[in-house]
């Protein structure tokens, strides 16, 4: 998306992605060998440094990148990185993200850090109640890395499903719909948000996005945008962030805010 907009503004863009036929590479044609795209994973520290050597500003589309390599680039070069590696590091770890948002007064559901053992997860179930969500702290998106624990007998199955990942537990949230806000943070720290939308999921994947937001509550749009903007204002560096929320049954508040860099 950024590559398409940049190409219309005649901004030279170099893409790091696996394969020659990545979508962004099809939009932006390299003009010279120096501006040629890079073939590789954005988890490859060597490839990240290779990209950084060619650009003035480096940005990422998704948070699943090698943050240590980005921090090394930030500390050893003049390349601007947006969002900041510190922000990407927060977003990468869903438990750290919960801690960060909670520390900044954002509404989140109850959560616990847990060891990957039946005993620790059983204790979490006793505290949070059943059902509860057992989630991977890292590499979790689009339903990947999530397991619903309806009763104590399912704990072993949930541990097996999550395959030894670092975990946290989260209280079950009885929501009525999921909503989302795209928020822009400029390099000058200006915060702007798009209208709120409703997201409809199928098999944990976003299936439909409904706009405008369907609601009889005239205050919901404003409340959701303010929460989303507060979440992004607490982060560092420019970028476009998707902030997702649950609308609760009583309609009195929003809960379980999560942010994803774009």
By the 8 A CB rule, do 221 and 211 touch? no
Residue 229 lies in a domain: yes
Same domain, 122 and 180: no
Question: Model pTM?
Answer: 0.89
How many domains does the structure of the chain reveal? 3
Same domain, 151 and 189: no
Low-confidence ranges of the chain (pLDDT < 70): 31, 142-143, 252-253, 255-257, 259-262
Cα–Cα distances in angstroms (integers) from residue 19 to residues 1, 13, 16, 22, 37, in the given order: 18, 17, 9, 6, 10
Q: What is the CATH number of the domain that holds 126?
A: 3.30.1490.20
Q: What is the CATH number of the domain that holds 18?
A: 3.40.50.20
Question: CA-CA distance, 190 to 188, in Å (whole number)?
Answer: 6
pLDDT at 143: 66
Same domain, 29 and 66: yes
Residue 106 lies in a domain: no
pLDDT at 204: 72
SS3 260: strand
Same domain, 214 and 251: yes
Residue 185 lies in a domain: yes
- The domain in which residue 244 lies consists of 174-261
Encode pLDDT of 46-66 as tens digits. 999 999 999 999 999 888 899
Residue 99 lies in a domain: no
Encode pLDDT of 179-206 as tens digits. 999 999 999 999 999 999 999 988 777 8
Residue 151 lies in a domain: yes
What torsion do the CA atoms of 145, 148, 153, 157 make, to the nearest 10 degrees? -20
Same domain, 207 and 255: yes
Residue 91 lies in a domain: no
């Amino acid at each position: 998306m950024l590559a398409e907009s940049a190409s219309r503004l005649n901004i030279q863009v170099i893409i790091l992605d696996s394969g020659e036929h990545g979508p962004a590479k099809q939009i932006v044609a390299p003009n010279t060998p120096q501006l040629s795209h890079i073939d590789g994973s954005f988890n490859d520290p060597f490839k990240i440094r290779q990209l950084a050597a060619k650009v003035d500003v480096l940005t990422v589309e998704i948070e699943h990148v090698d943050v240590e390599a980005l921090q090394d680039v930030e500390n050893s070069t003049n390349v601007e990185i947006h969002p900041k590696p510190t922000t990407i590091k927060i977003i990468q770890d869903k438990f750290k993200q919960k801690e960060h948002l909670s520390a900044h007064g954002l509404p989140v559901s109850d959560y616990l850090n847990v060891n990957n053992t039946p005993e620790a997860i059983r204790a979490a179930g006793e505290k949070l109640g059943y059902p509860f969500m057992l989630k991977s702290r890292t590499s979790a998106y689009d339903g990947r890395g999530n397991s619903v624990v309806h009763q104590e007998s399912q704990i072993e199955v949930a541990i097996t499903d999550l395959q030894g990942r670092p975990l946290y537990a989260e209280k079950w949230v009885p929501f009525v719909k999921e909503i989302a806000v795209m928020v822009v943070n400029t390099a000058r720290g200006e915060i702007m948000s798009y209208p709120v939308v409703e997201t409809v999921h199928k098999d944990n994947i976003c299936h439909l996005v409904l706009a405008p937001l369907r609601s009889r509550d005239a205050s919901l749009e404003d409340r959701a945008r303010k929460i989303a903007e507060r979440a992004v204002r607490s982060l560092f560096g420019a970028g476009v962030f998707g902030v997702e929320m649950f609308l609760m049954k009583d309609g009195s508040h929003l809960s379980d805010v999560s942010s994803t860099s774009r």
